[in-house]
Homo-oligomer: A and B are copies of this chain.
Amino acid sequence: MAHRSPLSRDRLVAEALAMLDDDGLDRFSVRRLADRLGVTPMAVYNHVSSKGDLLQAVADAVVSEADYRAVRGDWRRVVGTCFRTLRTTCLAHPGAVPLVESSQTLHPSIFRPMEITVAALRGAGLGARDAVRAYFLLTTFTLGQVGYQIRGWGRGVDPRAAIREGRISSATFPAILDVRLKEQWDFDQAFEFGLAVILGGIDTRLRRR
Protein backbone atom coordinates (compact mmCIF):
# COMPACT_ATOMS: atom_id res chain seq x y z
CA MET A 1 0.00 0.00 0.00
CA ALA A 2 2.99 2.29 -0.72
CA HIS A 3 1.83 5.79 -1.53
CA ARG A 4 4.63 7.56 -3.30
CA SER A 5 3.47 11.07 -2.47
CA PRO A 6 5.88 12.58 0.04
CA LEU A 7 5.16 12.25 3.72
CA SER A 8 3.93 15.30 5.59
CA ARG A 9 2.43 16.17 8.94
CA ASP A 10 -1.00 16.57 7.36
CA ARG A 11 -0.82 13.22 5.63
CA LEU A 12 0.23 11.55 8.87
CA VAL A 13 -2.66 13.13 10.75
CA ALA A 14 -5.16 12.16 8.06
CA GLU A 15 -3.98 8.55 7.91
CA ALA A 16 -3.83 8.31 11.72
CA LEU A 17 -7.43 9.51 11.92
CA ALA A 18 -8.52 6.97 9.33
CA MET A 19 -6.66 4.24 11.20
CA LEU A 20 -8.26 5.23 14.51
CA ASP A 21 -11.71 5.10 12.96
CA ASP A 22 -10.88 1.71 11.44
CA ASP A 23 -9.26 -0.04 14.41
CA GLY A 24 -9.70 2.10 17.51
CA LEU A 25 -7.14 3.62 19.84
CA ASP A 26 -6.05 0.32 21.39
CA ARG A 27 -4.78 -1.01 18.09
CA PHE A 28 -3.13 2.22 17.04
CA SER A 29 0.66 2.26 16.84
CA VAL A 30 3.26 4.33 15.09
CA ARG A 31 4.65 1.23 13.43
CA ARG A 32 1.30 0.15 12.00
CA LEU A 33 0.68 3.69 10.82
CA ALA A 34 4.03 3.63 9.02
CA ASP A 35 3.05 0.32 7.42
CA ARG A 36 -0.16 1.83 6.11
CA LEU A 37 1.85 4.62 4.55
CA GLY A 38 4.43 2.23 3.08
CA VAL A 39 7.26 3.77 5.04
CA THR A 40 9.70 3.02 7.85
CA PRO A 41 8.43 3.71 11.38
CA MET A 42 11.24 6.17 11.88
CA ALA A 43 10.20 8.31 8.92
CA VAL A 44 7.23 9.40 11.01
CA TYR A 45 9.52 11.20 13.42
CA ASN A 46 10.66 13.60 10.72
CA HIS A 47 7.24 15.25 10.86
CA VAL A 48 6.10 14.62 14.38
CA SER A 49 7.99 14.84 17.64
CA SER A 50 6.31 11.90 19.36
CA LYS A 51 3.28 9.63 19.34
CA GLY A 52 1.62 11.99 21.81
CA ASP A 53 2.27 14.95 19.56
CA LEU A 54 0.70 13.10 16.63
CA LEU A 55 -2.40 12.06 18.58
CA GLN A 56 -2.83 15.61 19.86
CA ALA A 57 -2.70 16.81 16.27
CA VAL A 58 -5.41 14.28 15.37
CA ALA A 59 -7.62 15.54 18.20
CA ASP A 60 -7.09 19.08 16.98
CA ALA A 61 -8.03 18.11 13.43
CA VAL A 62 -11.29 16.56 14.59
CA VAL A 63 -12.28 19.46 16.79
CA SER A 64 -11.51 22.04 14.14
CA GLU A 65 -13.80 20.30 11.67
CA ALA A 66 -16.76 21.72 13.57
CA ASP A 67 -18.50 24.60 11.88
CA TYR A 68 -20.01 26.85 14.54
CA ARG A 69 -21.63 29.13 12.04
CA ALA A 70 -23.54 32.12 13.35
CA VAL A 71 -26.95 31.11 14.68
CA ARG A 72 -29.68 33.67 15.21
CA GLY A 73 -32.17 33.40 18.02
CA ASP A 74 -32.29 33.48 21.80
CA TRP A 75 -29.47 32.13 23.96
CA ARG A 76 -31.10 28.71 24.32
CA ARG A 77 -31.04 28.19 20.58
CA VAL A 78 -27.52 29.55 20.23
CA VAL A 79 -26.06 27.40 23.01
CA GLY A 80 -28.07 24.33 22.08
CA THR A 81 -26.95 24.44 18.45
CA CYS A 82 -23.38 24.93 19.55
CA PHE A 83 -23.24 21.69 21.57
CA ARG A 84 -25.25 19.72 19.05
CA THR A 85 -22.57 20.67 16.56
CA LEU A 86 -19.78 19.63 18.94
CA ARG A 87 -21.52 16.29 19.51
CA THR A 88 -22.06 15.59 15.82
CA THR A 89 -18.46 16.45 15.03
CA CYS A 90 -17.18 14.03 17.66
CA LEU A 91 -19.53 11.24 16.65
CA ALA A 92 -18.20 11.51 13.10
CA HIS A 93 -14.86 10.21 14.36
CA PRO A 94 -15.50 7.61 17.05
CA GLY A 95 -11.90 6.45 17.14
CA ALA A 96 -10.64 9.91 17.96
CA VAL A 97 -13.11 10.70 20.74
CA PRO A 98 -10.87 9.40 23.55
CA LEU A 99 -8.21 11.79 22.29
CA VAL A 100 -10.57 14.75 22.27
CA GLU A 101 -11.76 13.88 25.77
CA SER A 102 -8.27 13.88 27.19
CA SER A 103 -6.68 16.61 25.10
CA GLN A 104 -4.15 18.50 27.14
CA THR A 105 -3.67 21.60 25.04
CA LEU A 106 -6.78 22.38 23.10
CA HIS A 107 -6.99 23.49 19.54
CA PRO A 108 -7.93 27.16 19.22
CA SER A 109 -11.22 26.17 17.66
CA ILE A 110 -12.42 24.70 20.95
CA PHE A 111 -12.48 28.25 22.27
CA ARG A 112 -15.22 29.02 19.78
CA PRO A 113 -17.98 27.11 21.63
CA MET A 114 -16.62 28.56 24.85
CA GLU A 115 -16.81 32.08 23.48
CA ILE A 116 -20.26 31.50 21.99
CA THR A 117 -21.65 29.98 25.18
CA VAL A 118 -20.16 32.48 27.60
CA ALA A 119 -21.20 35.44 25.44
CA ALA A 120 -24.76 34.15 25.06
CA LEU A 121 -25.17 33.40 28.76
CA ARG A 122 -23.66 36.68 29.91
CA GLY A 123 -25.96 38.45 27.47
CA ALA A 124 -28.86 36.63 29.09
CA GLY A 125 -27.81 37.91 32.49
CA LEU A 126 -25.57 35.20 33.97
CA GLY A 127 -22.45 36.24 35.88
CA ALA A 128 -18.99 35.67 34.44
CA ARG A 129 -18.05 32.80 36.69
CA ASP A 130 -21.39 31.02 36.38
CA ALA A 131 -21.21 31.38 32.61
CA VAL A 132 -17.91 29.51 32.51
CA ARG A 133 -19.28 26.92 34.93
CA ALA A 134 -22.24 26.44 32.61
CA TYR A 135 -19.86 26.00 29.70
CA PHE A 136 -17.92 23.43 31.69
CA LEU A 137 -21.17 21.65 32.58
CA LEU A 138 -22.26 21.50 28.94
CA THR A 139 -18.84 20.31 27.78
CA THR A 140 -18.51 17.48 30.30
CA PHE A 141 -22.08 16.46 29.57
CA THR A 142 -21.66 16.45 25.80
CA LEU A 143 -18.29 14.71 25.64
CA GLY A 144 -19.39 12.28 28.34
CA GLN A 145 -22.48 11.29 26.38
CA VAL A 146 -20.45 10.87 23.22
CA GLY A 147 -17.82 8.84 25.04
CA TYR A 148 -20.33 6.42 26.53
CA GLN A 149 -22.17 6.14 23.23
CA ILE A 150 -19.00 5.11 21.46
CA ARG A 151 -17.92 2.65 24.12
CA GLY A 152 -21.38 1.14 24.07
CA TRP A 153 -23.36 2.25 27.05
CA GLY A 154 -25.93 -0.33 27.89
CA ARG A 155 -23.60 -3.23 27.28
CA GLY A 156 -22.40 -3.28 30.89
CA VAL A 157 -25.03 -1.10 32.46
CA ASP A 158 -28.20 -2.87 31.40
CA PRO A 159 -29.78 -4.18 34.62
CA ARG A 160 -31.59 -7.02 32.88
CA ALA A 161 -28.35 -8.30 31.39
CA ALA A 162 -26.67 -7.95 34.75
CA ILE A 163 -29.31 -10.15 36.34
CA ARG A 164 -29.15 -12.67 33.55
CA GLU A 165 -25.42 -12.94 34.09
CA GLY A 166 -25.91 -13.19 37.83
CA ARG A 167 -24.02 -10.02 38.61
CA ILE A 168 -26.86 -8.52 40.62
CA SER A 169 -30.01 -9.92 42.16
CA SER A 170 -33.41 -8.74 41.03
CA ALA A 171 -34.69 -8.28 44.57
CA THR A 172 -32.44 -5.37 45.47
CA PHE A 173 -33.03 -3.30 42.35
CA PRO A 174 -36.77 -2.96 41.80
CA ALA A 175 -36.85 0.49 40.21
CA ILE A 176 -34.37 0.02 37.37
CA LEU A 177 -35.89 -3.28 36.37
CA ASP A 178 -38.93 -1.45 35.19
CA VAL A 179 -36.95 -0.06 32.32
CA ARG A 180 -36.28 -2.12 29.23
CA LEU A 181 -33.01 -0.38 28.60
CA LYS A 182 -31.54 -2.28 25.71
CA GLU A 183 -34.57 -2.35 23.47
CA GLN A 184 -35.62 1.24 23.89
CA TRP A 185 -32.49 3.26 24.35
CA ASP A 186 -31.81 6.09 21.92
CA PHE A 187 -28.69 8.21 22.40
CA ASP A 188 -30.01 11.13 20.36
CA GLN A 189 -33.11 11.35 22.51
CA ALA A 190 -31.09 10.97 25.71
CA PHE A 191 -28.84 13.83 24.59
CA GLU A 192 -31.77 16.08 23.74
CA PHE A 193 -33.35 15.29 27.11
CA GLY A 194 -30.13 16.19 28.94
CA LEU A 195 -29.64 19.36 26.92
CA ALA A 196 -33.23 20.46 27.59
CA VAL A 197 -32.81 19.81 31.32
CA ILE A 198 -29.59 21.81 31.49
CA LEU A 199 -30.86 24.75 29.45
CA GLY A 200 -34.11 24.69 31.44
CA GLY A 201 -32.13 24.69 34.68
CA ILE A 202 -30.10 27.69 33.57
CA ASP A 203 -33.30 29.42 32.51
CA THR A 204 -34.97 29.11 35.92
CA ARG A 205 -31.74 30.35 37.49
CA LEU A 206 -31.92 33.45 35.28
CA ARG A 207 -35.59 34.11 36.03
CA ARG A 208 -35.07 33.80 39.76
CA ARG A 209 -33.19 37.05 40.15
Contact = CB atoms under 8 A, between A and B. Distances in A.
A138 B65 CA distance: 28
Contacts of A104: 151-152, 155-156
Interface string A124-148: 0000111111101101110111011
Nearest to A104: B156
A205 interface: yes
B108 A189 contact: no
Contacts of A184: 129
Given A119-B174, A144-B144, A179-B131, A106 B194 contact: no
A93 interface: no
A131 to B, nearest CB: 7
B119 A194 contact: no
A86 to B, nearest CB: 13
Interface stretch (A15-23, A29-37, A77-85, A196-204): A196-204
Contacts of A190: 133, 136-137
25 contacts: A104-B151, A106-B156, A106-B157, A111-B162, A111-B176, A114-B159, A114-B173, A118-B175, A118-B179, A132-B179, A133-B193, A133-B194, A134-B197, A136-B148, A136-B153, A136-B190, A137-B141, A137-B197, A137-B198, A140-B140, A144-B144, A197-B198, A200-B200, A201-B201, A204-B204
Contacts of A194: 133-134, 136-137, 140
How many monomers of this chain does the complex have?
Answer: 2
A108 B162 contact: yes
Contacts of A197: 134, 137, 198, 201-202, 205
A74 interface: no
Given A132-B181, A175-B115, A193 B102 contact: no
Given A141-B140, A144-B143, A199-B201, A156 B105 contact: yes
B122 A175 contact: yes
Given A108-B168, A129-B179, 14 more contacts: A104-B151, A111-B168, A119-B176, A133-B190, A134-B193, A134-B194, A137-B141, A137-B193, A139-B144, A140-B140, A140-B141, A197-B198, A198-B201, A203-B204
